Amino acid sequence: MRTPFLLFTRSCKAIYRLQRSPFFSPVSALCRQQTISVLRNTSTVSCEDDRSYYITTPIFYVNASPHLGHLYSAVIADCLHRYKLLQGFNSKFATGTDEHGLKIQQAAEAAGKDPLIFCTNVSERFKHLFNSCDISYTDYIRTTEQRHHQAVKHFWSVLWNKGFIYKGSYEGWYSTQDESFLTALQVGDAVDSSGNEIKVSLDSGHKVEWMKEENYMFRLSAFRSQVLEWLKGNPRAIQPELFYQTVLQWLQEDLPDLSVSRQRSRLQWGIPVPGDADQTIYVWLDALVNYLTVAGYPDKHNQWWNVAHHIVGKDILKFHALYWPAFLLGAGLPLPQTIYVHSHWTVGGKKMSKSLGNVVDPLERSKKFTTDGMRYFLLRQGVPDSDCDYTDDKVFKLLNSELADSLGGLLNRCTAPALNPAQVYTAFCPQSFPSEQGCRAVVEDYHMLDAVKKLPAVVENHYESMHVYKALEAISACVRQTNGLVEWTVPFEGRALGSDTGVLFTRLENLSMDKQNLYKTKKAKK
Ligand code: MSP
């Protein structure tokens, strides 16, 4: 069941008001497909100019199918990539899957599958989701690829040769779910579903285990002051500001050296340490290097590696804002330009996760609400600084009010053939908007014009700081103001009186005095 809300006469897109049943528009899918191939083709061109831009999503763990939170990271990156293309940048956009580590090894075991087959299967699901949702990535990386193995081994050897990796031993807490080492202060007590007392990460709530192993350590402690210096000199390196402050806070404490390998006997599913087949490289070191692999490391990364921007969820800030800069400094490579951090989608107040059984299927929802609808919702309602709770009802209400009613209504009013038979961008009537005083326009109309004029700069500013929701809010406010103008100037009444041209907003004086007074009273009440 679908109700056409309006049809754009010069475009193949249609806007429909959402019904409470699923629908899908094959016409807009076709248009999107064309747009995507153009975006992909444009951005693979290699160029040496300073208008290169490189944006990445985190690479996604393949232990489970994608959920809405994953799509959110990808939609933000896609949005910034498209924005840069519109600005004329040569933009590279990487996404992909993180396939090594204990967590994946255990997931494959539990599924009774060969790890590579298991990874390929889930990786394809992510790819399918991103293709279906118009994520216009230019490179899809899998950490099981040969090019990545080479990059990681090279990167390791550089750190080793410079003396930043040493053989040692690690004793402490480890969370397999987060693939993260934790200090005693980061761990608390909890009880599992069977009533057993367990230790958990205070941050993620995931179970932790005590481990004691001989392995390789990275001299993280040696980089604390350099990372701090970098951040002090680049206050916009981590955005939004809230997360920048969080990292500065972390850096007030000492950084312990980091274990960067696991014994092969425990972890087989990973890249072996060069020169030591008994050890496997720590999955986070392996995963972070994906950004370099896509950039062409170790031979051809210079064009892209100076202009890298990472999108990350707040749960993985530590890895990107502490470990990654330290690794890069150790390897003598430039640091990322920006780390854009976003918060989480929750369901019933809890972070979406497979273990909690509260995941929202993004593919199913984008069929229900359309791809553009879902993308709009995520960007419009997702606030980077704080978590947002997801409900279908919120999507339904937002899309109907802002896209179908407000934007759709405005377009309908401006482009309906009966109102705008010439199908042109109409000029303002000189009696309505003269520069001198005494015209029919009222002060709100000038505010609207002013807001529309300033809109590109406002939007640009918000995009630059990853506040996409604020950009959309500003656009939506202009749409509302413009709708207000249309309501006040009643071009539809003018048409009823026989308006002949495509020039709108000219006819109030042609109405009977009664009607004019009615509209003026309505306006005054507002
Ligand atoms: N594999 C690591 C990233 C390595 S990057 C070198 C990882 N993978 S993940 O699949 O767990 O998460 C990928 C991204 O999805 C992260 O940015 C994470 O914050 C994001 N999200 C996961 N759950 C989320 C929500 N519920 N809401 C929003 N984003 C969430 O971490």
* Range(s) of the chain covered by CATH 3.40.50.620: 52-336
Q: What is the mean predicted confidence (pLDDT) over 186-201?
A: 90
C-alpha pair distances (Å), 152 with each of 108, 144, 149, 292: 23, 11, 5, 9
pTM: 0.85
Tell me how far apart the alpha carbons of residues 161 and 393 are, in angstroms, rounded to a whole number.
56
C-alpha pair distances (Å), 183 with each of 56, 180, 213, 218: 29, 10, 16, 16
Is the pLDDT at 242 greater than 90, yes or no?
A: yes
Quickly state the pLDDT bin for 43 (edges 50, 70, 90): very low
Q: Whose CA is nearest to atom 23 of ligand 1?
A: 69
Quickly state the pLDDT bin for 18 (edges 50, 70, 90): low
* Range(s) of the chain covered by CATH 1.10.730.10: 4-40+393-521
Please check whether residue 47 is in contact with residue 85, taking contact to mean a CB–CB distance below 8 angstroms. Answer: no
Which pLDDT does position 72 carry in this prediction? 97
Which pLDDT does position 185 carry in this prediction? 87
Find out if CATH 1.10.40.30 is the number for domain 4-40+393-521: no
Q: Whose CA is nearest to atom 9 of ligand 1?
A: 60
**How many angstroms does the Cα of residue 392 sit away from the middle of ligand 1?**
22
Is the pLDDT at 503 greater than 60, yes or no?
A: no
The arrangement of secondary structure in 52-336, i.e. its CATH architecture, is: 3-Layer(aba) Sandwich (3.40)
Helix/strand/coil percentages in the chain, nearest 5: 50, 20, 35
More confident call, 17 vs 103: 103
**How many angstroms does the Cα of residue 340 sit away from the middle of ligand 1?**
13
Is the pLDDT at 111 greater than 80, yes or no?
A: yes
Quickly state the pLDDT bin for 45 (edges 50, 70, 90): very low
Quickly state the pLDDT bin for 193 (edges 50, 70, 90): confident
User: Over the chain, what is the mean pLDDT?
Assistant: 85
pLDDT tens-digit series, residues 169-192? 889 899 988 888 888 889 999 998
Which pLDDT does position 1 carry in this prediction? 30
pLDDT tens-digit series, residues 427-464? 777 777 766 666 777 788 888 889 999 999 999 999 98
* Number of Cβ atoms within 10 Å of the Cβ of 480: 15
**How many angstroms does the Cα of residue 313 sit away from the middle of ligand 1?**
6
Find the range with the poorest average confidence among 44-58, 155-169, 260-274, 488-502.
Answer: 488-502
Q: What distance lies between CA 26 and its chain's CA centroid?
A: 25
Q: What is the mean predicted confidence (pLDDT) over 324-331?
A: 98
Which pLDDT does position 440 carry in this prediction? 73
C-alpha pair distances (Å), 220 with each of 212, 217, 277, 297, 362: 19, 9, 24, 22, 38
Q: What is the mean predicted confidence (pLDDT) over 278-294?
A: 98
Which pLDDT does position 113 carry in this prediction? 97
Residues with CB under 6 A from ligand 1: 58-61, 69-70, 72-73, 98, 287-288, 290, 312-313, 315-316, 344-345, 351-352
